[in-house]
Structure 1
C-alpha cells in the first residue's frame, strides 16, 4: 500500500508537503494551524539577529490573474518583523507538540551572526536549519539574502560557519537569480550543506499601471523590483531542481509555483525529496493539503509507487541536453474530429506563425509538405483534439549524430 511518510535528512515527516518560509509561517498561531491541517512540516519565517529587523511596507503584494486564476504573485515582504525574544515565546508551544520543523535564518556576511542564529534555531526546537541566502528584495541592499546567494564563496563560508556550530542538518536555500545555479549549489555542498532548497523568488516587476505610470506593488505611488512566485516561475524552479539533482550529491527541497499535488510530484520526479509551498496556501488556504494527500496516494497506487522515495528523480533520465534530443522527421498533427470544435484557432496559428499546413474547411486535410512539425496547432487547441503522430515511415537520429543518409 502506498504511503506518504517521508524521511528527509534523518527526520521523518508525515508527508513531503511543507509550508515554506513566508507570511503563512509568521507566528505561532499560524504554525499550529499548519500542524492541525496535516501538512508534513513548515519552515518558520526567516529570523535574524535583532539589529537586522525592519518594518514591512504596506501594501507588499501584487498579482497577475487570468479568468480569476492566479498566474503569478509578487511580494516585497522582508524577513520577520519580530525580535528573537518574541519568537522564543511563539515557538515554545510548537516545540511541545513534538512536530518536526525547519527554522529559516539570515544575516549579513558576519559569520559570527550566522553561527549565533544557527545555535539559536537548534536550541529552540528546529529539526533542520535553513539558510536564507536568497531573498531578492530589501535584504541585498543590507548585504543579506541574494547579496550572499549570488557569490559562491560567501555561500560556502556562511554554510560552513553554521555547519560548524550545530548538530542538526543544515539546508541552504538558493536564489534563481544567478547565471549558473550548479556552481552555487556545489559551493554550499562543499561548505557542508546537508541539503539544498530551491528556488527562492525570481526578481522582477509583475505589473505596470500604464494609466498612472507606476509599477507594482504600488506603495504610495511607487513600485520596486521584488520577488515573483506562483505558476509563472514553476518552469524556472523545475529546471533548477533538475540541474541541481544532476550536479550535487545531497538531497533537495523543491520550491516555486507549486499550486497542485501534480506540480509537487513534478518537483519530486526531478529530484526533490520534499516540496515547500507558499502561494498555494495563500490562494487556497491551508486546507488544500488534504486534497493533495488524497490525490497523491491515488496516483501512487495507480502507478505502482509504494513510497515517495520511489518517485524521487524518476523523471531525471528523461532530461537531456538539446544535442541529444531525438529528431523524428515524420511526425505530423492528426485531428480528432470527435473532439474538434472547429474554432479555427489551429488554422490561424499555423497560417500566421507556422507553415500554413492546416486548411479550412477540412481541418484534418493537412499538407505534410508545408507542415513544420512544430506542434503549435496542438498547443493552441483548447480541447486537446490534436496530437503529433508518425506518418509515412519513421526516421530518428540525434543532433550530434546528424540525419541518416538516404
Structure 2
C-alpha cells in the first residue's frame, strides 16, 4: 500500500517537475526576449542621447529659426524638434517598462528554478523512499516465500504422519476384528457345550426316572411274592432301600460331575497376590498407560485404548493371569506376537478372555490348556509398539473392560 502511494507520488512529482521545466523554458525565453528588447531600446536611446548631446548648443534654437526658408518650414522644423524629443521620452518610458518586465521575468525564472530545485529534492527523497519501500517489499516477499515453503514442508510432514497413523489404526482395527472373531467362536463353542450338557443331564434324569419306575414295579411284585414270609419281605424291603440310597448317591455324584468348574480352571488354591476373581498379575511390573479413550493429536479424534500397558525390558517373563485354553498364539497385526486365552464364564457368567500383545517370544500354542501363573511368553516390542512393554487386555463376552478392576 505504501509502495503504491510512493510510486504514485513519484509520478506526480515527475509530472510537476516536467511542467516546471517547461515553464522555466518559457520564462527563459521571455527573459531572453526582454533582454533583447532592452538592448534594442538602450541602443536607440543611446543614439538619441548622443545626437542630442552633440547638438545641445546655444545656437541650436537659432539654427532651427534661421535655417528655415519660410514660416511654414519653421513651423515644421519646430514640430520635428518636439517630436524627436517626445519620441525619445516615449522610448525611455518603454525602456523602463521593458526593464521592469525583464526584472519580473528574471524573478519568475528564479522562482521557477527554486521550485524545480525543491521538486527535484522532493523527487530525490521520494525516489529514495520508493527504493527503500521496494527493498522492504522484496524482503517481505522473501519472508513470505520462506514461510510458505516452511508451511508446505510442515503440511507435507503432517500429511505423511497422518497417513502413517491412519494405516496403523487400520492395522489395529484388523487385529481387533480378528480377536472378536475368535472370542465369538469361543462363546458359540461354550454355548454348544452347555446345551449338550443340559441335554445329557435331561437324558440322565429320564433314565434314572425310568429305572426308579422299574424298581418300584419290581418292589411291588417282590412285596406281593414275599407276603408269605415276613422275614423275606423285610429283607427285600431293606435291600430295596439300600439300592434306592445308592442310586440317589450315584445321581448326586453324576450331577456334581456334570456341572462346570466355576473356580480357577482347576488350578491350585489362589496364591498370595491373587484377586477375588482368581487372577494374578501377568508381568512383574507396574501398570502404565491406562485403560480408556485417548485423543489423537494428528487424527483429531478420540479412540479407545482397550487395555493397560506394563513397561518391562525385553525378555521379561509373562505368566497366564488365570487358567484357561489358548485361543490364539502368533502374529496378529498391530498386536505383534499375541496370545489370547479363554478362561470360561468366571466373571458375572460372561466369557472371560485375556490378551497379551507385543511379545518377543510365545511359549504356548492354540488349543493348549494352561494353568494360572504358567509361563506363556516374554515381553517384547513387536507390532505397533515404540518401546518394550506388555499390552494386557481383559474382555467379557468380547467387550474390553479395565483389567485393573479384576487383576491385582
Q: Same fold (TM over 0.5)?
A: no
The structure carrying a bigger strand percent of its residues is 1
Scaled by the length of structure 1, the TM-score of the pair is 0.17
The structure carrying a bigger helix percent of its residues is 2
Structure whose alpha-carbon radius of gyration is higher: 2
